[in-house]
């Protein structure tokens, strides 16, 4: 059985004061039956790791460089994330693909670095509204998977997040059938490439305007093993509602 995952991406939000929300989250879930992950900005990583120590919550990064060290001003390596207390790192988020013009080969290199360092790579895939309307969704997802996922991927070091770009932060959500179609497609592609053992062990999470009011129905969809949540993860109360919905599946 794949253990469910509720992951929160704080993006470029949060100063030290936001750690109180993290403390509240830890207190609300002392014995969680699902994995809980929060990915704060890099400035909070070490303090966040100290805050969650001994709790059911773990900490992750939002990006890493493909190199382990070097002349890369402003970047952070996978080894640095690990040293700061991270267990995972988000890679290939649509905001990185668009704002920083990251391509599949860049994401693959970063994922290799993350896995080599001992981090779980949460690789994001997703289509734009134009691609969805042109019925190209599965072709886009398949291409992103082929280009972004390293050959060394396993169920222990890889998590895939399906995030339709047009649904992130917009309040728009694909139909349950549309979510299921993509997650089933991702599962089948993983099994074909890596074999049934690895293919069935990789967790697939959904992201895109997930909130307490719609979480339960999304989590009931085939091959949805949890969520990668943006804005709703910034407040412990909102994220708790999503976690509880996941625990009830």
The catalytic site residues sit at 93, 163
Burial of 99 (0-12, 13-18, 19+ CB in 10 A): exposed
Q: What is the rounded CA–CA span in Å between residue 188 and residue 4? A: 19
Phi first, then psi: what are they for 7, rounded to 5°?
-115, 135
Q: Show the 3-state SS of 22-66.
A: HHHHHHHCCCCCCEEEEECCHHHHHHHHHHHCCCCEEEEECCCEC
3-state secondary structure of 158: strand
3-state secondary structure of 176: helix
Task: Output the six-digit token pair for 182.
Answer: 């993509």
Q: What is the rounded CA–CA span in Å between residue 207 and residue 198? A: 22
């Amino acid at each position: 059985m794949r253990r469910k995952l509720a992951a929160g991406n704080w993006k470029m939000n949060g100063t030290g004061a936001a750690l109180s929300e993290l403390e509240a989250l830890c207190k609300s879930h002392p014995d969680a039956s699902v994995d809980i992950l929060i990915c704060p900005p890099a400035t909070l990583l070490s303090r966040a790791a100290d805050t969650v120590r001994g709790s059911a919550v773990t900490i992750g990064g939002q990006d890493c460089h493909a190199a382990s060290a070097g002349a890369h001003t402003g970047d952070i390596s996978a080894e640095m994330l690990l040293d700061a207390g991270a267990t995972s790192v988000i890679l290939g988020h649509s905001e990185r693909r668009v704002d920083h013009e990251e391509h599949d080969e860049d994401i693959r290199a970063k994922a290799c670095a993350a896995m080599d360092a001992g981090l779980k790579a949460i690789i994001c895939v997703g289509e734009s509204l134009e691609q969805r309307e042109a019925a190209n969704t599965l072709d886009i997802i398949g291409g992103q998977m082929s280009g972004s996922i390293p050959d060394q991927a396993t169920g222990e070091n890889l998590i895939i997040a399906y995030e339709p770009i047009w649904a992130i932060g917009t309040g728009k959500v694909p139909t349950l059938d549309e979510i299921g179609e993509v997650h089933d497609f991702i599962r089948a592609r993983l099994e074909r490439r890596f074999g049934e053992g690895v293919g069935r062990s990789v967790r697939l999470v959904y992201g895109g305007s997930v909130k307490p009011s719609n979480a339960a129905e999304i989590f009931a969809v085939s091959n949805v093993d949890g969520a990668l949540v943006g804005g709703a993860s910034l407040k412990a109360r909102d994220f708790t509602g999503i976690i509880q919905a996941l625990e009830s599946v």
